[in-house]
Amino acid sequence: MSLAVQLACSSFTQSLRFYTDVLGFTTLRFDPPTRSAELERDGVAIAVQETRDAIAPLEYPFGRGVVLVIWVQDAEAVYAGVQAYGARLYAPMQEVWRDEDGVRTGHAEFEVIDPDGYRLRFCQSLARG
């Protein structure tokens, strides 16, 4: 089972640059006439499209109440790109550990805000303890 997310954006150029140059997504499909692109990173698909045709007025921050959780192979690399760009962090990098059925499992995570206010949580599994 998989899920692809399409995000409305206020500036296609700015969003495309943020997702590719800063977050390391690759472009699968680029469609300038519709101001849209389909992007991928570590098996996660996100489409961005500049739109004025939404079911409600688009006001910053877009996607209120939604956090997109993206599991990646190298969260530190994504985090370094976010810091180099000076993107707005919602939560800094941290380790989260839990005991599940007597086994300690953990992941590293951080949250960043994209140019339109979407919250993106990047996570990477850590070795079991």
The 44-50 sheet, strands edge to edge: 4-9, 44-50, 36-41, 26-31
pLDDT at 1 over 60: no
Q: 53-84, pLDDT tens digit by residue? A: 767 778 899 989 999 999 999 999 999 999 99
93 pLDDT band (50/70/90 cuts)? very high
What are the C-alpha distances in Å from 115 to residues 16, 22, 77, 108? 10, 11, 20, 23
- The CATH code of the domain that includes 84 is 3.10.180.10
Alpha helical stretches, state H, 1-129: 12-17, 75-85
Q: How much is the average pLDDT of 98-103?
A: 88
pLDDT at 121 over 90: yes
Can you give the pLDDT at residue 129? 57
Enclosing domain of residue 65: 4-51+60-126
Record the tokens describing residue 123, joined without a space: 């996570």
Number of domains the chain contains: 1
123/109 Cα distance (integer angstroms): 4
46 burial type by CB count under 10 A (0-12 exposed, 13-18 middle, 19+ buried): buried
Average pLDDT, the chain: 92
Q: 37-52, pLDDT tens digit by residue? A: 999 999 999 999 998 7
